[in-house]
């Protein structure tokens, strides 16, 4: 009987050790490498939809700079408790101008194949038809659904320190599972 209790105790300790190690690995990955986010709202439609779950890579930007076309998660400028998801449009040092439904970078029209055809570009920060020079370590971000997006046109640039990471996997619902590529511009 004593031998039976000893085996049960050893099994329990092995199981507990496995659970503790797995939890430690999960916490380290969550804190430093990856984070799950939920899409809330329509600002990224038709490419991302409300209630979809995405995985954010939190480590890449420690080794390289964010790039145009990448979808990122960052702390919301108006409420630091919220995280926003938007696409990087303008990079530090670039000149940007919004004119009608178009975005111009360094006087060249940006070809955005992922944006619905009929969009509006209201802006309080980025004034229509006026050039804006993007400061160092700042990024201009916009939702793909420009008509229903609170973004840089309204509240300004996003500092590199406020970027949490880049979206790299959509995993829920499972039928929409996909890796998220960076958009390539002509």
Does the pLDDT of residue 81 top 90, yes or no?
no
Catalytic residue numbers, as ranges: 43, 86
Question: What are the structure tokens assigned to 1, written together?
Answer: 């009987």
Taking the domains of the chain in order of start, what are their residue ranges? 1-32, 35-179
On whether the CB atoms of residues 121 and 146 are closer than 8 A, the answer is yes
pLDDT tens profile 15-40: 878 877 777 777 776 666 778 788 88
The Cα–Cα gap between 70 and 88 comes to 6
Instruction: Please give the model's pTM, rounded to 2 decimal places.
Output: 0.78
The Cα–Cα gap between 170 and 180 comes to 7
CATH topology of domain 35-179: Umud Fragment, subunit A (2.10.109)
Q: Give, in degrees to the nearest 5, the angle at Cα 66 between 132 and 145.
A: 65
The mean pLDDT of 4-13, rounded to a whole number, is 75
Neighbours of 184 (CB within 10 A): 9
pLDDT tens profile 122-172: 666 777 778 888 999 999 998 888 888 888 888 889 999 999 999 988 888
């Amino acid at each position: 009987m004593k031998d039976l209790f000893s085996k049960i105790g050893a099994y329990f300790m092995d199981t507990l050790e496995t659970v503790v190690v797995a939890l430690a690995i999960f916490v380290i990955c969550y804190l430093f490498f990856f984070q799950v986010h939920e899409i809330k709202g329509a600002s990224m439609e038709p490419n991302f939809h409300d209630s979809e779950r995405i995985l954010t890579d939190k480590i890449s930007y420690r080794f390289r700079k964010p790039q145009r076309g990448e979808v990122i998660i960052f702390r919301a400028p108006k409420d630091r408790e919220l995280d926003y998801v938007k696409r990087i449009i303008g990079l530090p040092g670039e000149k940007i101008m919004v004119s009608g439904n178009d975005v111009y970078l360094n006087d060249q029209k940006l070809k955005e194949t992922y944006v619905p055809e009929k969009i509006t570009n209201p802006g309080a920060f980025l004034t229509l038809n006026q050039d804006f020079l993007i400061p160092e370590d700042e990024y201009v971000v916009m939702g793909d659904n420009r008509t229903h997006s609170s973004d840089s046109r309204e509240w300004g640039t996003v500092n590199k320190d406020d970027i949490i990471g880049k979206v790299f996997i959509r995993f829920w619902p499972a039928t929409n599972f996909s890796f998220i590529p960076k958009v390539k511009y002509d």
